[in-house]
Structure 1
């Protein structure tokens, strides 16, 4: 009787482990099909530099998401880094910044890997997308995010 209970418990544990691990097969598969939302506005707030920068940066294999907003002379960009690459945040941030400085020499570029900056830029992108901001408000929020980025550095 006791031997049957032990065998039954052993089988239940094995079945539980096998079924629990079977669903996570694609958990570690790296996909670079992150959605990039291109910001288009009907007002004269041109976001083409930010859109081009997002396309360029998302091609990096360690980056899973990008948010960016630009003014006429500055570009703020926040990246979401894949979980296993988080140990190299500073290195990734530096590489992205240098690549963008080469591509856009006439813009002052700030890059962050901080998730708060990512969320702040995402909110600003959404406001721009919905045309709920003007140049004055954009500049004010842009400067606020820029000062937060410098504070974190």
Structure 2
């Protein structure tokens, strides 16, 4: 009887160890795949508006581990950047914004940089990116939409 009890206890310990180790491995693989799934939507325009500064900034920002996605649009002298931050990192929004702004200013010192973590600004920039890709948006129209988004950012501040 004592021999059966010891075998049962050893079996339960081994079963628990296998269950715990397999549960931990699955979660680790999920985190790795989340970081690899980040994709950048580049803004390609066929008109006179060049978005390479916005695309370069997106590449730099999306590499940060606290950023889940990014949208950006630039004019000839200004760059608007909106980011989505992972849920746990939302406690550090101010420091993340400040660090991103400094990094982008080092990359493009000739541009005035505006960084936002607000969801509404993110959606507005997403619409502006789509508008730039679909039709031949003129610089005047882009600046009008750009100023509208900047005024929304000032309202939130």
Q: Quick check: TM above 0.5?
A: yes
Task: Select which of 108, 114, 117 maps to 2:118.
Answer: 114
Deviates more, 1:116-125 or 1:126-135: 126-135
Q: What secondary structure does 2:31 align onto?
A: coil
Question: Equivalents in 1 of 2:84, 2:49: separation in Å?
Answer: 25
Question: Equivalents in 1 of 2:136, 2:108: separation in Å?
Answer: 27
Bigger fraction of residues in helix: 2
Q: What secondary structure does 1:29 align onto?
A: helix
TM-score, normalised to structure 2, is: 0.78
RMSD across aligned C-alpha pairs, in angstroms?
Answer: 1.7
Question: Equivalents in 2 of 1:116, 1:137: separation in Å?
Answer: 20
Q: CA deviation at 1:135?
A: 1.3
Larger Rg: 2
Question: Equivalents in 2 of 1:109, 1:59: separation in Å?
Answer: 18
Q: Which residue of 2 aligns with 1:82?
A: 86
**Residue 97 (1) aligns with residue 120 (2):** no
Q: CA deviation at 1:72?
A: 0.4
Instruction: In structure 1, list runs of 5 or more residues that go unmatched.
Output: 1-21
Task: Select which of 135, 140, 143 maps to 1:131.
Answer: 135
Instruction: In structure 2, list runs of 5 or more residues that go unmatched.
Output: 1-22
Q: What secondary structure does 2:81 align onto?
A: strand
CA-to-aligned-CA distance 1:101-141 (integer Å, 9 cap, x gap): 11110000000000111000000000001125221111100
- The count of corresponding residues between Structure 1 and Structure 2 is 130
CA-to-aligned-CA distance 1:47-99 (integer Å, 9 cap, x gap): 00000000000000000000000000000000000011011111101100011
**Residue 29 (1) aligns with residue 31 (2):** yes
Q: Which residue of 1 aligns with 2:5?
A: none
**Residue 54 (1) aligns with residue 58 (2):** yes
